[in-house]
């Protein structure tokens, strides 16, 4: 089962609808917006979730990227996530959750990495990916508003074509995201002499371990 843990309080349909279209279960951790702190209480809350779910892999934002991205909470959240992953495998707070055992997570992937070391083929799920993105209506509206002001009419038309129409900022944001997402995944796929038309980059934490070298 895929599970998606959101650091903030429940934004209702904002994440539930796109997650449902992907078959992903969402759980909200109820950290207050703008107040994410790397403290003992927050670590224990995440350690408890990790020990309950016992994931084989974790996918989270690249800590290097998060420090350059001026989006609230991302820097603190990434430190909190990684500290909690480390503590969940040790004897930390076992007396407070005696029914749960330590759980090491052997594999961590960072998404939107500054220095990717692997890519995943997404060509065969591209339609589903676009569908899920379109469900993020609040994000699409925000992107439509910001990009319309930043790019101006000429910039928007250069990306979408002179005759493209849209009814509101949400639809405009969706159209622009489709262009940006396709360019991003095309760059990490075909345009870097890769084997896939559209690829999503990740940075796997640690070394790759092979019994022998493989083609």
Domains located in the chain, CATH noted: 3-115 (3.40.50.10320), 120-201 (no CATH)
Out of 73-77, 111-115, 178-182, the most confident range is: 178-182
Q: Pick the residue with more confidence: 158 or 19? A: 158
State residue 44's pLDDT score.
95
Amino acid 53: pLDDT: 93
Residue 200 binned pLDDT confidence (cut-offs 50, 70, 90):
very high
pLDDT at 184: 97
Q: What is the pLDDT of residue 1?
A: 44
Q: Three-state secondary structure along 57-116? A: EEEEECHHHHHHCCCCCHHHHHHHHHHHHHHHCCCCCHHHCCCCCCCCCCEEEEECCCCC
Q: What is the pLDDT of residues 23-69, one digit of tens each?
A: 888 887 878 878 888 999 999 999 999 999 999 999 999 988 888 87
Confidence of residue 11 (pLDDT cuts 50, 70, 90): low
């Amino acid at each position: 089962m895929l599970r998606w843990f959101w650091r903030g309080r429940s934004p209702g349909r904002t994440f539930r609808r796109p997650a449902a279209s992907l078959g992903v279960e969402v759980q909200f951790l109820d950290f207050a917006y703008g107040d994410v702190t790397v403290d003992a209480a927050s670590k224990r809350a995440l350690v408890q979730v990790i020990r309950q779910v016992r994931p084989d892999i974790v996918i989270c934002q690249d800590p290097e990227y998060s420090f350059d991205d001026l989006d609230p909470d991302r820097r603190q959240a990434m430190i909190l996530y990684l500290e909690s992953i480390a503590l969940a495998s040790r004897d930390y707070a076992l007396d407070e959750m005696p029914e749960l055992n330590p759980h090491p997570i052997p594999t961590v992937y960072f998404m939107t990495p500054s220095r990717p070391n692997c890519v995943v083929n997404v060509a065969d799920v591209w339609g589903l990916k676009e569908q899920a993105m379109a469900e993020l209506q609040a994000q699409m509206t925000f992107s439509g508003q910001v990009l319309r002001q930043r790019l101006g009419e000429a910039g928007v038309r250069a990306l979408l074509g002179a005759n493209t129409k849209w009814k509101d900022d949400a639809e405009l944001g969706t159209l622009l995201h489709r262009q940006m997402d396709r360019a991003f995944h095309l760059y990490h796929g075909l345009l870097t002499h890769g084997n896939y038309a559209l690829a999503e980059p990740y940075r796997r934490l640690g070394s790759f371990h092979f019994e022998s070298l493989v083609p």
